[in-house]
A and B are shown apart, each in its own frame.
Chain A
Amino acid sequence: MNLIGERTRMNANLKKSIKVSLKPADIKRSMKDMATPEAARQDVSQFQHLAGKYLTFLLGNEAYAIPVLKVREIIRMIPITAVPQMPDYIKGVLNLRGKIVPVVDLRLRFGIGTGAVTDRTCIVVVQLQSRAKRELLMGMVVDEVEEVLNINAGDIQETPDFGVSVDTSYILGMAMVKGKVKAILDIQKVVAAETIETAAEAGLTQ
């Protein structure tokens, strides 16, 4: 489990609250092993609130899903203006039809290393709420955007506990769609409050 240390190293200059030692791949793998239709049906009622339309995207080899309502826009990869003195997962800002939107590199956020920018790389602009309950736009660099699909409650399963001190609260659940496991992200938590704060303090957000 070297990656924990690596991640710890990589996030050394992160503000202390973020101790994301997540390995979504491991999570998904274990989920696949464990997942059975019967097990799924047990938790149907639990995840009713998670059912709905999701936008799925790929990060590395793993698929994630975020609720479509949170998605503001999907754009192709465009040049990002770098901003100094930011944590490394904050890539910079971009100009979205006149709006300045901070961009986060989810790979770095998840600590799975920077990926190559392909022509499929997209920026998903999501709507978040800041601490002051204001609307906040953040861009996330993802490797590939898949589709918008409907996830039923019955497809969703509990995020397994790995017995390690990782904060898996940002994964709301695991969805089994078309034989693939997609982790449902709590985007609010992924792009955590302090990041937002930092960004806000930096005057990057409106």
Chain B
Amino acid sequence: MKLLTKMVIAAVVCAVLTMVVGSIGYFGASKLASYTVELVTVNYPEAQALMRISDCKTILFAIERGLINRRMMASSELRKAQFDKEKVTLDLLENSWKEYESISRDQEEQKLWDNFKQKYSNWKVIHDEISKTAKDISSLLDSGVSTNDTRVSELEAKAFNYAMGARKSYLEMEKALDELIKFANSDFQSVKNVALGTASFVKTLSVIITIVGSIIILASASFIGIQVTRRLKGIADGISSNVNQTATAAAQVAAASQQIASGASEQAASVEETSASLEELASMTKQNADNSIKVKEQANQARSAAEAGAAQMEELTRAMVDIKGSSDSISKIIKTIEEIAFQTNILALNAAVEAARAGEAGMGFAVVADEVRNLAQRAAQAARETAEKIELAVSSSSRGQEIGLRVAEGFKEIVSKVREVDALVTEVAAATKEQSQGITQITSAVSQMDKVTQESAATAEETASAAEELSAQAEALQESVKELVYIIEGAKDGTLGIKAGSQRQSAVTTKPQHITIHGDGSKHGIGPKDSGKDSDKTGAHKSKQQSKVSETTRASAPKAKSSEIPLESFRDF
């Protein structure tokens, strides 16, 4: 069942009981009021009237006595006085009569009244006679007749007779009036009894219902209160722990946000550096592009130079070839000479052989052959030397040719390399262009990144501040929870705030807790701040405590006292 329902039911029960009690009271009161009114407007006036009538009649009776009393009638003042009095009394009686008549009566009373009325009229007649007689007497006396006058005496005797006659009727009237009065009294009494009865009934009922109602209300209120308290306590504990976690999480978020913020700042710095580097890179790329153009030009120049050189080399090679050709022919000639020398040598040898075979006869021939051989050898030698020289020349020339060829090749290579360089440089130029484009893109991306980093830094700052706020809110919530617990638990712990596990130092002293009872950490005295926050919550309770607290804080060292403060205030409370 919903708490509200329960409370509503309890309240309804309460209200019902109250209404019952109230209505009982109301009706009792109204009943008593009606009785009182009755008493006051009916019974009392009745009684009054009747009493007055009674008094009047008595007075009238007395007056009768006076009127028939010679002594009493002696003086005219007395007589006047008596007549006045009689008139007054009759008036009064008449008024009272009217009064009584005006009041409603029930049947029985009416009967009695009628009875009385009759009796009264009976007596009244007589009384009037008496009165008349008295008046006659008076007038006689007034006219100067003496009291001893027979007329007076006659009248006196008449009056006396009337008086005697009146007595019976007077007594009957008196009796009737007494009956009436008794009836009225009994009516009075009965009304009083009824009223009392009603009152006692009402009282009893009230008491019973009050007691029962109180019991019911106390029971249900306690029950509900205990339940609610328990639930609230559980919730408060839950909230408290949640709030603790929230506070922790908020602190973590704050720290993380701070980190993010600092990281973002670092990132921004790095991005700045990157930007600077990129600018450098861009400028270098531009330089590269320019340089590559220059290189292309240089390469072109080199190529043309190399081509010229190659042409020159070709000419050189041709010259070399010519040299070689002539050397070759010279060599051939030398070879021929060598052959001749060789042949000659062989011839000489043959001659020597023949000379040797010829023996003595061939001695001279042998000498000749020897000389020829020498000559041949010399020729051969010369030819050889020449051949060597030619060989040298040829080899030098061929070396030169080779070198020339190699140089020509080298030139060709240069040319081809230059062409390659050209192509490469073109590629480099294109690539540089692309590179610069890419760098532009990167630059813009970096600036975007910078922006984003700034934004993220700002966001992180915001997050940090939001986390701080959250933290503060969590603390405030903690305080509220503490208060809630306080409300629920009262002063069970003896101190404020220990239970809720405040972030501030919870252990050592309670004074800080008192002082820092409110989450914004301002260390004011307890009094004024308390009122600011709590008055709407617990009103009188808190203010009372607060006054106590401020007294005590004003008084002395708060440490020991502060722990007692709430208890005291509660005890008082």
List chain A positions with a Cβ less than 8 A from chain B.
53, 55, 68-69, 71-76, 119-120, 122, 145, 147-148
Contacts and interface: CB of A to CB of B under 8 A. Distances in A.
B76 interface: no
11 contacts: A53-B356, A68-B352, A68-B357, A74-B349, A74-B353, A75-B346, A120-B342, A147-B349, A147-B373, A148-B353, A148-B356
Given A75-B346, A76-B346, A148 B352 contact: yes
Task: Pick from B338, B343, B349 the residue with the most CB of A within 10 Å.
Answer: B349
Contacts of B352: 53, 68, 147-148
- Majority DSSP secondary structure for residues of B touching A: helix
Contacts of B346: 74-76, 122, 145
Interface of B: 338-339, 342-343, 345-346, 349-350, 352-353, 356-357, 373
B350 A76 contact: no
A73 B347 CA distance: 9
B334 to A, nearest CB: 12
Contacts of B356: 53, 68-69, 148
Contact of B357 (A69, A74, A76): A69
Q: Which 5 A-B pairs give the minimum distances between C-beta atoms?
A: A148-B352, A68-B356, A53-B356, A71-B353, A74-B349
A71 B352 CA distance: 10
Given A68-B352, A76-B346, A145-B346, 17 more contacts: A53-B352, A53-B356, A68-B353, A69-B356, A69-B357, A72-B353, A73-B353, A74-B346, A74-B350, A75-B346, A76-B342, A76-B343, A119-B338, A119-B339, A147-B352, A148-B352, A148-B353
Contacts of A69: 356-357
Contacts of B353: 55, 68, 71-74, 148
A177 to B, nearest CB: 16
A52 to B, nearest CB: 8
Contacts of B350: 73-74
A80 B381 CA distance: 29
A72 B350 CA distance: 8
Nearest to B359: A69
Nearest to A73: B350
A55 B353 CA distance: 8
A197 B195 CA distance: 197
B331 to A, nearest CB: 13
Contacts of A122: 346
Contacts of A72: 353
- Majority DSSP secondary structure for residues of A touching B: strand
A75 B350 CA distance: 8
A119 B384 CA distance: 13
Nearest to A68: B356
Contact of A55 (B345, B349, B373): B349
A55 B349 CA distance: 8
B376 to A, nearest CB: 11
Nearest to A52: B356
B375 to A, nearest CB: 14
Nearest to B349: A74
A120 B342 CA distance: 8
Contacts of A55: 349, 353
A72 B353 CA distance: 7
Contacts of B339: 119
A53 B352 CA distance: 10
Contacts of A71: 353
Contacts of A68: 352-353, 356-357
Contacts of B349: 55, 74, 145, 147-148
Task: Pick from A53, A69, A74, A122 the residue with the most CB of B within 10 Å.
Answer: A74
A74 B349 CA distance: 7
Nearest to B339: A119
A138 to B, nearest CB: 15
A53 B345 CA distance: 17
A162 to B, nearest CB: 32
A120 B350 CA distance: 15
Task: Pick from A72, A120, A147, A148 the residue with the most CB of B within 10 Å.
Answer: A148
A119 B342 contact: yes
Contacts of A73: 350, 353
A6 B525 CA distance: 129
Nearest to B352: A148
Contacts of B338: 119
A53 B350 CA distance: 13
A35 to B, nearest CB: 26
A189 B303 CA distance: 76
Contacts of B343: 76
Nearest to A145: B349
Nearest to A149: B352
Nearest to A146: B349
A196 to B, nearest CB: 22
A82 B373 CA distance: 32
A67 to B, nearest CB: 9
A185 to B, nearest CB: 16
A56 to B, nearest CB: 10
A145 B376 CA distance: 14
A72 B356 CA distance: 11
A118 B535 CA distance: 138
Contacts of A120: 342
A73 B342 CA distance: 15
Contacts of A145: 345-346, 349
A148 to B, nearest CB: 4
A145 B357 CA distance: 18
Nearest to B335: A119
A94 B339 CA distance: 21
Contacts of A53: 352, 356
A148 B374 CA distance: 12
Contacts of A74: 346, 349-350, 353
B423 to A, nearest CB: 53
Contacts of A76: 342-343, 346
Nearest to B366: A148
